[in-house]
Structure 1
Amino acid sequence: MTEETFVTGIALSQWAHGAARLGLPSLDIMKRCDLDPLCLGDLGRKIPLSTFENFMLELILVSGDELLGLHIGQQIMPALYGSLSMVVLSADSLEDGFRMAARYAPMVVGNAGGVEIREDDNDKLFIGLLAHKNAVVRRHWIESVAALIIKAAKFMFPSFSPECLYFEHAPTSKHMEKSLLEYFRCPIQFGASFNGARFDAKKMAGYVNGYGKYSMEIASKLADQQLEDQKIQQTFIDRIKIQIRDLIGTTSPRREVVAERLGISPRTLDRRLSSAGYSWQELIDAIRSQLAYEYLSKSEENIADIAHRIGFSDVRAFQRRFRKWSGVSPNEYRKSFKR
């Protein structure tokens, strides 16, 4: 059976957090697209490409920004990329950094894309491969990736610039074309047969990083290990979530009870959660909010019963918390599904 095409929680994080920085209601849109907030930054979480595309399209529609992809890509957030950032920053040269980024691209794009590197005379040609079928999504995605990569390279080497960028799409307006040319500061061939970038091989080799080969080896090992560890970590987080869901509605889901069920100490539970980027309360809130969205959109239960089912003894406390999660009341959220 062919594996479903997916991206990881890191790709989702770049778009969700980047959009939030631009003032867009990305978390609300995630909920409408049935995306679990716990997916954010989760390397082991496989987000179906169709779901991710729906999320992107919603963001694009709400933003009304023909350059949203570019603006998302300008939001550099190294912490989102974990050891991948270390690998790129520790590369011996800019060329090595690009090659490492290509090698570990699956940490971000899953099996929904990749990078092919070709030698062309004295240049290096990096061709972006992507599984997105929707033309609007493809355009915003490739502009986002180009902006992210070029800005990261310029962060290390301010004078760096590609020889040429290739976009298969055409600009939707003169304003868009002007903005792209001003940002990338290099020729752009629109309507090309591929998406990619051309770099001068000698220039790339000439941009030498001072971290050294030893740091690169360490960073690469960490990245390789992270790919494997994340699979194990996700399994552990899933086990915790199952226990919490089982406890919610019948009793207060206490960390000591969950730890005992899993055969570990509360301290070990906290340490494992922390290493995965979670706190106990964040996990509880995320699961409660997800259950609340599900019950409000898919059941006819009254608000008080739903509040009790997810562990609130006071319906008013639930209403306050739900408004904090979503920005609207439970009744307003439910009504949005009946329009």
Structure 2
Amino acid sequence: MPILVRSASLTKYSEIARHVGIDPVRALREAGLDPSCLTTPDLRIPEASLARVFEVSLASGAGRAESRTLGARIGEAWRLSDFGSLSLLLQHQPTLREALARIEPYRHMLSDSVSVQVEEVENTAALHVALVTARPDPGPEIVELTVGAVLSLVRAMLGAQYAPRAVHFAHAAPERLQVHRRFFGARIEFGSEFDGIVLARADLDRANPLADVHLARYAQDLLDLQPRFGEVSLADDVRRAIHLLLPRGAGAIEPVSERLGLTPRTLQRQLEQRGERFSSLVNEVRASLAMRYLAQPRQSVSDISDRLGFSEPSAFSRWFSAEFGQPPSRWRTACFARGRDGH
């Protein structure tokens, strides 16, 4: 079953693409999408096709450095209303914490790909953004767009000029950072251990002056009346949870099942009824994350081994060799060589 997302990001893409010298209609057609996606934000499109639009845009040769800012520019243009039918419910939540908690139950209205997890440590909160895609690396533009959309929600709740403590990206920095610094702020860390936003823990519970409990209840009633298209995929829910929790040392079945509101035994049973195994899903996500981390030169093989839950680098190397037919160091060298050659 394909991973689907709303086409709202493409309605933003249209004007921004023209600004940097890209023909948006041609890009969509090359990606196999109907140009109506540029003006219809509530269509459900394959996430892979959205990624293909960015690939075509980057390959167009029209302002390549500017094309590399497309994700950040779309995030900058994002508004609360771009969350579609969910926006009224989010707008009237009493705090940012409550708004973030409302996303997961209605995530199917936004994206099959995205999950947001709040991690709190002392006086700091980190909003971890994870994307489950059919590709090992979702691509920097998709990541920056998604983190940008989350930041737009943060600013809708905390004020348009709100500056987070830091914004983190696992991918390497682009050639130019003017757009990124203008939107995300000066404190951007690339080559990080996660994608997401760091803020003061107290900001999660700062009162939203626009909150209206009656409008929130009305919005929720309307959302609950809307039909849900397609079946809920438990395996995809597990994949998203593993993506978020594995790099934080919590990829075992207990924390994953807790995030999904199930007991470990129930989760195992329901997966087996669908022909899936938890260990296979962990291995799948681990392989995807391994390739993504190895493609970033700042991350050592030892650090990657630890983040993926291996007791020592040698165990990671044996597992990787069995999965990919070569040790992680050799795979990484070949990856960097392809990058230098432009392939």
Do 1:10 and 1:80's aligned partners in 2 also have CA atoms closer than 8 Å? Answer: yes
Which residue of structure 1 aligns with residue 187 of structure 2?
187
Gaps of 5+ in 1: 232-339
CA distance in 1, matches of 2:163, 2:97: 13
Query: What letter matches 1:30 in structure 2?
Result: L
Distance in 2 separating the partners of 1:38 and 1:181: 32
Check whether the contact 1:162–1:186 (CA below 8 A) recurs between aligned residues. no
| Cα deviation 1:261-290 (Å, max 9, x = unaligned) | xxxxxxxxxxxxxxxxxxxxxxxxxxxxxx
The match for 1:142 is 143
Alpha-carbon distance, 1:149 to partner:
3.0
Look up the equivalent residue of 2:196 and give its one-letter code. Answer: G
- Distance in 1 (CA, whole Å) between partners of 2:228 and 2:16 is 26
SS in 2 for 1:104: helix
Name the aligned partner's letter for residue 33 of structure 1: A
Change over 3 Å in CA distance of 1:103–1:61 after alignment to 2: farther
Contact 2:126 2:198 (8 Å CA) reproduced:
yes
Kept after mapping to 1: 8 A contact 2:73/2:179: no
Q: Is the 8 A contact 1:93 1:205 kept in 2?
A: yes
Q: Which residue of 1 aligns with 2:114?
A: 113
Per-residue deviation, 1:37: 3.4
Quote the Cα distance in structure 2 between the aligned partners of 1:107 and 1:172: 31
Counterpart selection for 2:47 from 49, 55, 58: 49
Change (3 A) 1:95 1:159: farther
CA offset at residue 230 of structure 1?
6.6
TM-score for both structures, normalised by structure 1 = 0.57
Report deviation, 1:87.
1.8
Structure (1 or 2) with the larger CA radius of gyration: 1
> Aligned in 2, Cα 1:107/1:203: closer, same or farther, shift over 3 Å?
same
Shift of 1:130: 0.9
How far does residue 128 in structure 1 lie from its aligned partner after superposition? 1.0
Residue ranges of structure 2 left out of the alignment (5+ in a row):
231-343
Deviations 1:275-319 (A, max 9, x none): xxxxxxxxxxxxxxxxxxxxxxxxxxxxxxxxxxxxxxxxxxxxx
Report how far residue 98 of structure 1 moved.
2.9
Partner amino acid, structure 1, of 2:118: I
Size of the aligned set, in residue pairs, is: 223
CA contact 1:60–1:68 (8 Å) conserved in 2: no
Output aligned runs, 1:126-137, within 5 Å: 126-132=127-133, 133=135, 135=137
Distance in 2, matches of 1:18 and 1:217, equals 36
Q: Which residue does 2:85 correspond to in 1?
A: 83
Letter in 2 for 1:56: F
Counterparts in 2 of 1:225 and 1:123: CA distance versus 1, 3 Å: farther
Following the alignment from structure 1 to structure 2, what is the Cα–Cα distance between the partners of residues 38 and 216?
Answer: 32
1:35 equivalenced with 2:33 (yes/no): yes
**Corresponding residue of 1:165:** 167
The aligned residue for residue 220 of structure 2 is: 220
Maintained 8 Å contact 2:78/2:148: no
Q: Which residue of 1 aligns with 2:199?
A: 199
For 1:76-125, what per-residue CA distance to the aligned partner results, in whole angstroms no more than 9, with x for missing partners?
Answer: 3555432222122111122222333454333222x222222222223322
Indicate whether 1:59 and 2:80 are aligned: no
Partner Cα distance (1:79, 1:158) in 2: 14
State the alpha-carbon separation in 2 of the partners of residues 199 and 103 from structure 1.
23
Contact 1:119 1:125 in 2 (8 A): yes
Letter in 2 for 1:55: V
Preserved CA contact (<8 Å) 1:43 1:230? no
